[in-house]
Structure 1
Amino acid sequence: MAESTGVLPGLSPVAGKPVHAAFDGGRLTSDAGVLLLAEIDRRLGVCERLARCIEDPRAPERVRHTLAEMIRFRALLIAAGYADANDCDALRSDPAFKMAVGRLPESGGDLCSQPTISRLENLPGPVALKRMMAAMVELFCDSFVTVPRRLVLDIDDTEDRVHGAQQLSLFHAHYDGRCFLPMHIYEATTGKPVAVILRPGKTPDGTEVALVLRHVVRAIRARWPRVDILVRGDSHYGRHEAMSWCERNRVGYIFGLGGNTVLLGRVTALAEDAAMGRVAGEVDKVRRFGEFRYAARSWKVERRVIARVEASAQGTDTRFIVTNLTGTAKALYETTYCARGQMENLIKAHKLHLASDRTSCSKATANQFRLLIHTAAYWLLHTLRSLAPKASFWREAQFDTLRLGLIKVAARVTEMVTRIKVSLPAGFPYQESLAMLAARTAKLPP
Structure 2
Amino acid sequence: MNFNPRVKMNFDGGDLTSDAGLLLYKEFDHKLGLSEAVEELLVVHDSVFHRDHPNSDVVLQKLYQHIAGYHTDDHADDLAVEPLLTMLLGKESLASQPTLSRFNDKADIATAKSLECVNETLQRRVYAIKPQNQFVFDLDSSSFAAYGKQHGANFNYHYQQHGFHPLFCFDGLTGDCLRAELRAGNVVKSSGLWDQF
Same fold flag (TM > 0.5): yes
Partner of 1:191: 175
- Map of 1:125-164 to 2, 5 A cutoff? 125-144=108-127, 145-164=129-148
Q: Verify the 8 A CA contact 1:155 1:185 in the aligned structure 2.
A: yes
Which residue identity is paired with 2:85?
Answer: F
Q: Distance in 1 between matches of 2:142 and 2:48?
A: 36
Would the aligned equivalents of 1:183 and 1:197 in 2 still touch at CA under 8 Å?
yes
CA RMSD of aligned residues (A): 2.2
CA shift, 1:146, in A, is 4.2
1:87–1:114 Cα contact (<8 Å) kept: yes
CA-CA distance at 1:118 after TM superposition: 0.9
Rounded Cα–Cα distance in structure 1 between residues aligned with 2:107 and 2:146:
21
SS at match of 1:185: strand
**Counterparts of 1:28-67 in structure 2 under 5 Å?**
28-51=16-39, 52-55=41-44, 57-58=47-48, 63-67=51-55
* 2:154 partner amino acid: L
Counterpart-to-counterpart distance in 1, 2:87 and 2:63: 14
Alpha-carbon shift at residue 26 of structure 1 (Å): 5.0
Q: Residue 75 of structure 1: CA displacement?
A: 1.3
For residues 40-439 of structure 1, what are the structure 2 equivalents within 5 Å?
Answer: 40-51=28-39, 52-55=41-44, 57-58=47-48, 63-103=51-91, 109-144=92-127, 145-201=129-185, 202-204=187-189, 208-213=192-197
State the Cα distance separating 1:125 from its structure 2 match: 1.2
State the Cα deviation string for residues 301-337 of structure 1 (Å, max 9, x = none): xxxxxxxxxxxxxxxxxxxxxxxxxxxxxxxxxxxxx
Gap change, CA 1:32 and 1:127, over 3 Å in 2 = same
Deviations 1:145-200 (A, max 9, x none): 14321111101101222223311111222333322111121111111111222111
Q: Which residue of 2 aligns with 1:360?
A: none
Paired with 1:67 and 1:164, the residues of 2 have a C-alpha distance of: 26
TM-score when normalising by structure 2? 0.81
User: Structure with the greater relative contact order (CA < 8 A, sep ≥ 6): 1 or 2?
Assistant: 1
1:177 and 1:33 map into 2 onto residues whose CA distance is 33
Deviation of 1:35 (Å): 2.4
User: What's the CA shift string for 1:89-131, capped at 9, x where partnerless?
Assistant: 111101101110023xxxxx21111111111122221122123
Give the counterpart letter for 1:167 in structure 2: H
Partner residue of 1:231? none
SS in 2 for 1:199: coil
- Letter matched to residue 166 of structure 1: Q
With structure 1 as the length reference, what TM-score do the two structures score? 0.38
Question: Counterparts of 2:25 and 2:44 in 1: how far apart (Å)?
Answer: 26
Cα distance between partner residues in 2 of 1:164 and 1:146: 43
Contact 1:140 1:193 in 2 (8 A): no
- State the one-letter code of the partner of 1:191: G
**Partners in 2 of 1:204 and 1:130 — Cα distance?**
23
Report if aligned partners of 1:47, 1:71 keep a CA contact under 8 Å in 2: no
Consecutive unaligned residues in structure 1, runs of 5 or more: 1-24, 104-108, 214-446
> Are 2:171 and 2:177, in contact at CA under 8 Å, matched by a contact in 1?
yes
Counterpart AA for 1:112: A
Instruction: Note if contact 2:166-2:182 (Cα within 8 Å) is conserved in structure 1.
Output: yes
- Inter-partner Cα distance in structure 2 for 1:177 and 1:146: 40
Q: What percentage of aligned pairs have identical amino acids?
A: 27
Pair 1:48–1:121, CA change in 2 (3 A): farther
- Provide the residue aligned with 1:333 in structure 2: none
